[in-house]
Chain A
Amino acid sequence: MGDLLSILSTSANALNTQQSVAQVASNNLDNVDTPGYSRQTANLSSSTLDVLGGVVLGGGVSVTNVTQTRDRFVEAQMPGAQGAAAYTQAQSDALTSVDVLDASNADGISSTLSQFWTALQSLSQDAGDSSLRTGAIESAQQVAASFNSTASGISEAQTGLDSQISASVTQVNTLSAQLATLNTQIRGGTVNGQQPNDLLDARQQVQDQLVTLTGGQVVTDAQGDVNITLGDGTALVSGETSATMAAVPDPTNNNHLAIQITRADGTGPVAESDSSIGGQIGGWLSARDGALQTAANSVDQLAFDFANAVNTAHSSSYGIDGSTGNALFTVGSTAAGTAASITVNSAIVNDPSMLATMGSSTAGDGDATGVQSMLNVENAAVSGGQDPSDALAALTAQFGSSTQQATANSTADAATLTHLTTLRSSASGVSSDEELVNMQRAQSAYQAISKVITTAQTMLDALMAIQTT
């Protein structure tokens, strides 16, 4: 039955409840810019005290639980957007960092090839002139050097990506293990409908980072565990266990790093193809083995075709010392690696009279038949049906298109992610205005309840006064 003492006791409960409401609001304000924090709400419910003669009397208020606010629809879209944005961003950053194919590069292949043809053109008009011969050999060395520096610029970008991949793989393993541990902790912390909110926030953050790195798919199962699988279905995190990722040199791919997974049960390792990895690591892999490798192969092919065409002309001509059958450029027997290794025949560098400018051994020093046949390479379809300049233009355009596309994709994916992040923040973020209002509301309720206690106290005092008179 309702009595004055029960008013006091329910009011005391209500004071506690309002303190909790104020504390939740205060905690939200404390965490207004904590990364990964989702705002919390104290869920209140009124309680029934007693039923008196068919009349239900209220029994005050209590906090049922404190829950996080998350928009499941937005959260479901986040992993895909995070993976895609990280993938294209990594790809675009990797490709735009390469500057050896810039047309404005004064030491680039385009410039040195032009200088080489100009030097040969001058030499063709006075083939016996020793300074022109030395000039032509020097310009051939510059062509070789520009191929070398272009090849090393591309391969440095590739090895740079390898070291980034290696560092990120370590990070992936740490995060996978953390996620598995958090799954265990969250299972244990979820009791009687009370959520371990801080653990949930921590898991969300680990999940965000893991997805950004690997582009893995997130599946939340019936138990509430967060599982992450790679593109080919290999599980990275499965409930309370996690797999181990490793980056190992691949001898079939110039010893660039390849990704392997040792499953949670210890089986494997299984090789992961580039396409099954997304996120930042996937973007690096795709830039390294895609556009950069294509550019490296094209530069190798151009160096190989150009050198062989010039060598064919050179070796069938004669030096002013009567030598013949010499190659001007030293290259291997296959295109692979040519750009990095191409040099000018050291015998010719040491003895410019070996530069094969003459058409026959009996011709005079001024005979430029050999020079003319080397000059013919300038406009001959020597590389894939194109002359050297056109082949260089084609490979530059191809690399440029890949870069341009990656940059455009990156901009679009970043916009999608920004949009979703805004929506997530709108649902789960803390608004200081809102929390100040909540604090104010709790304060008003607190004051009102205090008034109730004072009133009940006055009523009790009145009662006590009757008994003592």
Chain B
Amino acid sequence: MRITDTMLYTNASTSIDLARSNVNTATEESSSGLRVTQPGDDPAAAAGVIIHSAAESFATSVQQTATAAVDELQTASGALNSVSTALTTARELAVQMSNDTYNATDRADAAAQVGQIFNEVVAALNTKSGDRYVFGGSQDQTPPFDASGNYNGDTEVRTIEVAPGVQQPASLRADVAITGAGGGTNVLAALTAFQTALTNNDTTGIEAAVGALQTGTSQVAQLISQAGGDMDALSTAATVAQATTLSETKDVSNLQDADVVTAATQLQMAQTALQAALAASTQSFKFSLLDQSG
């Protein structure tokens, strides 16, 4: 092949350009740590990054909301424990007062004690987490129970989508456990009736209160155990979500990030190729008749 001067210089500049462009790409990859910056770099990986990032973000928000819900359920559970303790005290008092050895004066004193217990229970049921009431369903800005023990909340139960399409309850229905909605006993009404029976020295009423308070205690116990179950489920969901977050982050990284060792090796190779191109070009310029002819 006939080699002309233009070829010599064009070839030199083409090969040096190519080598420089490779060095540039390798430097970018090494310095940014990213293998895929534009969709065109690897279309499948770019699409995968979007899907896995969305899954990562979903899992992270599940983890956050589930953890927050567990905290709130703990608060609710603590309040229910106080209610349960108060109800147990009231029931013991009822058993005691139903005994014939107590007279009207004793029972009037006990009535005052039951009034205390009633207030304690209402106060516990009006517990707040943050700036909202935990037992009012969606009516969380006003106290769910008034001083007379009337329920102002609703039947709403909050849920968390712990996995696509899977809703896990994250709040408790105080109306079922306390007001006896759906066929149970109204605990606060039972306390009031007990107090009235004590005031009226009505032993039949006091004996009836023993049973009602017993039922109420078990209703509350049931709700506490439900809270425990919900907390377990949510903690598990948070743990699973944390693991999912980690694995999705890893997937995104695998798709998008440059392998540090490979990137460094490629940079070294590209630099060596550039050096070779420069050296070869310099050599090829050296040989000319111009240097030989005087």
Contact = CB atoms under 8 A, between A and B. Distances in A.
A103 B39 contact: yes
Given A110-B50, A396-B39, A431-B2, A118 B60 contact: yes
A403 B39 CA distance: 8
B44 A114 contact: no
Interface stretch (B90-98, B134-142, B215-223, B274-282): B134-142
Contact of B6 (A128, A366, A430): A430
B4 A436 contact: no
A365 B140 contact: yes
A397 B43 contact: yes
A404 interface: yes
Contacts, number: 201
A110 B170 contact: no
Contacts of A440: 293
Interface in A381-432: 389-390, 392-394, 396-404, 406-407, 418, 421-422, 425-427, 429-432
B40 A95 contact: yes
B7 A103 contact: no
B58 A393 contact: no
A426 B49 CA distance: 48
Contact of A125 (B38, B42, B68, B165): B68
A117 B61 contact: yes
Interface string B38-69: 11111110111111011001101110110011
B5 A368 contact: no
Contacts of A430: 4-6
A129 interface: yes
A118 B61 contact: yes
B147 interface: no
A393 B140 contact: no
A388 to B, nearest CB: 8
A422 B10 contact: yes
Nearest to A436: B289
Contact of B10 (A118, A358, A368, A425): A425
A366 B132 contact: yes
A399 B39 contact: yes
B160 A124 contact: yes
B3 A114 contact: no
Contact of A372 (B6, B54, B159, B289): B159
Interface size class for chain A?
35 or more
A393 to B, nearest CB: 4
Contact of B289 (A367, A421, A432): A432
Interface in A225-283: none
Interface in A426-469: 426-427, 429-434, 436-437, 440
B46 A397 contact: yes
Contacts of B43: 396-401, 403-404
Q: Which of A32, A117, A122, A389 has the most CB of B within 10 A?
A: A389
A125 B68 CA distance: 9
B119 interface: no
Interface string A335-356: 0000000000000000000000
A175 interface: no
A113 B290 CA distance: 68
A122 B140 contact: no
B48 to A, nearest CB: 7
Nearest to B68: A125
Q: Is the interface of A mostly helix, strand, loop or mixed?
A: helix
B158 interface: yes
A307 interface: no
Nearest to A108: B50
B161 interface: yes
A389 B50 contact: yes
B3 A426 contact: yes
B5 A32 contact: yes
A128 B9 contact: no
Q: Which of A96, A103, A433, A437 has the most CB of B within 10 A?
A: A103
B288 interface: yes
Contact of B5 (A33, A128, A375, A407): A33
B65 A125 contact: yes
B289 A113 contact: no
A138 B170 CA distance: 26
Contacts of A104: 34, 36-37, 49, 256
Q: Which of B11, B49, B136 has the most CB of A within 10 A?
A: B49
Contact of A403 (B2, B11, B40, B60): B40
A50 B69 CA distance: 119
A196 to B, nearest CB: 22
A398 to B, nearest CB: 8
Contacts of B69: 125
A426 B10 CA distance: 12
A366 B156 CA distance: 9
A4 interface: no
A429 B160 CA distance: 76
A20 interface: no
A321 interface: no
Given A101-B39, A403-B39, A433 B68 contact: no
Q: Which of B42, B46, B156 has the most CB of A within 10 A?
A: B46
Nearest to A35: B6
A379 interface: yes
Given A366-B141, A393-B47, A396-B39, A33 B9 contact: yes
Given A365-B138, A394-B47, A398-B43, 14 more contacts: A96-B38, A103-B39, A110-B50, A113-B54, A118-B64, A121-B160, A125-B158, A125-B160, A126-B130, A129-B131, A364-B136, A372-B161, A389-B51, A430-B6
- CB-based closest 9 A-B pairs: A403-B40, A400-B39, A400-B43, A429-B4, A364-B139, A367-B138, A364-B138, A114-B57, A366-B140
29 contacts: A96-B40, A110-B53, A121-B61, A125-B160, A126-B130, A126-B132, A129-B132, A363-B154, A364-B138, A364-B141, A367-B138, A368-B138, A372-B159, A372-B161, A379-B164, A389-B50, A389-B54, A396-B47, A399-B43, A400-B44, A401-B43, A404-B41, A407-B40, A425-B6, A427-B2, A431-B3, A431-B5, A433-B289, A436-B290
